[in-house]
A and B are shown apart, each in its own frame.
Chain A
Amino acid sequence: MVELSHDTRPIIGQGPPLGAAFIALALLSIALMVADHRYQQLDRVRGWLGAAAYPVQRAIDLPFRAWDWLTGSFADRSRLRRENLELSTRLRLANLQLQRFAALEDENRRLRDMRENTAGVAERVLVASILNVDLDPFRHRVLLDKGARDGVFKGQAVLDGEGIFGQVWRVGELTSEVILISDAEHAIPVASNRSGIRSIAVGTGDSERLSLPFVTAEADLKTEDLLISTGLGGVFPPGYPVARITRVERAASATFAIVEARPTARLALDREVLLVWFKEEPQADPSPATADAGQDAEPATARAAGEAAQ
């Protein structure tokens, strides 16, 4: 049983009556929710509140980072040698490929210049660390240690070494929240690299699985097909790997096939990701007055586009 307070002065007659305080604060919370959700009035306030929360988040992150650092710095020699060897082999292979890509990129740029279209060339990247902070077990969202101060904007594409990771959905002063492509509220326009079939890959809430709900049964998709971003919607740069198809099921009676894919980015394992600024397509921005791409960034827009495509 909870012990009684030592303070035995009467409860009644102190401060405003309970009911009045309750109603006032309840109305205040509802007003806050409406202002935040409906009118997006509080973005700036949230940014600053987020900055206030930053020391807490950093403090929680610190021991985990220190542990990583410790295990890293006391790694034994043989492991370091092995890692070094592995990395240099990979680097050599990558360089080899890069030589080829450099020529291809030049050629590509020339061709694009001819078409006067410079879409999808990454201008600038920034490495950001994922803070070791749990946001919500049922949503795939992570916190990055870069915010508005570093030029991060809402709707910015986030990549890792293997593919598309997600997009920024809220920017604070010092941190930003990223929604992963596997979040159940996220959708990304993709195309099969092999056949060029376009579709929408929707998150499922499982970091190993995306679903493509708008693929007709006749569509030319096979397992192991690589899905790349199309750049439609103007959020993600085109041509980056998103996922690899793991399952295609066609029922004779159904209009749509059941297609599932596994993200190429290591969504659950990444500790560092890349924030990308890419040159926007000239036609992507219909009204030059709206500088921030906040409206385009809403993942729901992509989903709406998918529903329209049905």
Chain B
Amino acid sequence: MRRGVLSSRLGYWGSIAAGLVLAIVPLPDWLDPVRPDLALLAVIYWILAAPRMAGLGSAWLAGLGLDVLKGIVLGQHALGFLVVAFLTHRLQLRMRMFPLLHQAIVVMLLLGIYHFLIFWTDGLTGHGYTNASQWLPVLSGGLLWPLIVALGDTLARRSR
């Protein structure tokens, strides 16, 4: 039991760190706009898998990390992560029962809310831009969701 808690804690922070690193790893220009928000997907996954461990504070910190790495204004991604984490916590009992496709659609909805928040705060701080392809990560994140669940569940089972 004790060991399990420790390893899932490690998995939690490790996956968030990996997501943050992958957020700034250089990609080819055509792939860059499609880059999914892996750190956020990791946060959503862990809230569903271990809601007691993955709290709002850690999600907020992950967002703040993204702000430091690539943000325009400090606190912007932190707020986005926080809102998504809160909604996921509210929905988690239902979301866990959804079939995978249904779950992916809800995740896309959450990603859409996140990107809308980023878009909105960008506009408020005078750095706004409008480009249809800024919504592509919502789509790619949704498509990636089943993979993330499969990967997470496999690793989690092994660690137990």
Contact = CB atoms under 8 A, between A and B. Distances in A.
A60 interface: yes
Contacts of B153: 2-3
B43 to A, nearest CB: 13
Contacts of B42: none
Interface string B19-38: 01100111101001101000
Interface in B1-23: 1, 4-5, 8, 20-21
Contacts of A253: none
Contacts of B149: 1-2
A64 interface: yes
Among A28, A30, A33, A56, the one with the most B-chain Cβ atoms within 10 Å of its Cβ is A33
Nearest to A59: B21
Contacts, number: 143
Contacts of A42: 74
A50 interface: yes
Contact of A1 (B68, B90, B96): B96
A140 B90 CA distance: 38
B60 interface: yes
B49 A2 contact: yes
A3 B45 CA distance: 10
Interface size range of chain B in the complex: 35 or more
A35 B74 CA distance: 9
A65 to B, nearest CB: 11
Contact of A134 (B25, B55, B160): B25
B47 to A, nearest CB: 9
B35 A136 contact: no
A33 B57 contact: no
Nearest to B34: A137
Interface string B127-149: 10101011000000000000001
A132 B26 contact: yes
A18 interface: yes
A29 B79 contact: yes
Contacts of A15: 55
19 contacts: A1-B100, A1-B103, A2-B149, A2-B152, A3-B49, A25-B60, A25-B78, A26-B79, A26-B82, A29-B79, A30-B79, A33-B125, A50-B68, A133-B25, A134-B32, A134-B70, A137-B33, A184-B129, A185-B127
